[in-house]
Amino acid sequence: MSNIFSRLIEKSRKRSPWVYRINAGSCNGCDIEVAPCFSPRYDGEQIGALLQGSPKHADILLISGPITLRTKDMVKDVYDQIPSPKAVIALGSCPATGNLFHDSPTIVGSAEAVIPVDLYVPGCPPRPQAILEAIQTAASLLEKGETRSQKEVTNG
Ligand code: SF4
């Protein structure tokens, strides 16, 4: 019975990934592209994706913007609040490299400096279709147990 229950949870994770979004210092360009992903135009719910109001209910973290001195602790805290297994998607050039803000004295750098990132979506900003594709890919990684957080648990 518990085996059936575990399989049901694994399938749900792939078919209905719940998503939480944080802005770590973004110009809002990436966030503006996330909004239509969950609107009738791009309709993320067609792939089961649902935006959540709390990290405690999420499977996938979307992060936009470069990590700043002011947001780095918040980013780590939000990541820790998401129950395992979890996946992280970095949106746009900022969380990948710091982008045009990289040499600012208030910038820590890429998201990788604070949390393990599973997928990067290129662009400044990325298009909604690319964001939804990344959510589907992250859901598949979760189902296969291949996210960084899952591998870290397996490797001890
Ligand atoms: S990647 Fe571009 S659009 Fe996105 S937060 Fe950075 S500067 Fe703004």
> What is the CA(38)–ligand 1 centre distance, in A?
19
Per-residue pLDDT of 50-70, as tens digits, reads: 999 999 999 999 999 999 999
Task: Give the Cα separation of 61 and 52 in Å (integer).
Answer: 10
> What is the CA(125)–ligand 1 centre distance, in A?
5
Q: Which residues contact 106 (CB under 8 A, 6 or more apart)?
A: 68, 69, 70
Q: Do residues 108 and 69 touch, judged by C-beta distance below 8 A?
A: yes
Q: Is 23 in the pocket of ligand 1 (CB under 6 A)?
A: no
Listed by start position, the domains of the chain span 2-154
The whole-number pLDDT of residue 1 equals 53
Backbone φ and ψ for 30, nearest 5 degrees, come out as -65, -40
Best of 62, 124, 127, 131 to mutate for ligand 1, by most ligand atoms within 8 A of CB?
124
Does the structural domain 2-154 have CATH classification 3.40.50.12280?
A: yes
Work out the number of other CB atoms within 10 angstroms of the CB of residue 35: 13
The whole-number pLDDT of residue 154 equals 66
Q: Is 25 in the pocket of ligand 1 (CB under 6 A)?
A: no
Task: Give the Cα separation of 34 and 26 in Å (integer).
Answer: 12
> What is the CA(155)–ligand 1 centre distance, in A?
34
Q: Is 97 in the pocket of ligand 1 (CB under 6 A)?
A: no
pLDDT higher than 60, residue 156 = no
pLDDT higher than 70, residue 152 = yes
List the structure tokens of 2.
């518990």
Q: What is the pTM of this model?
A: 0.93
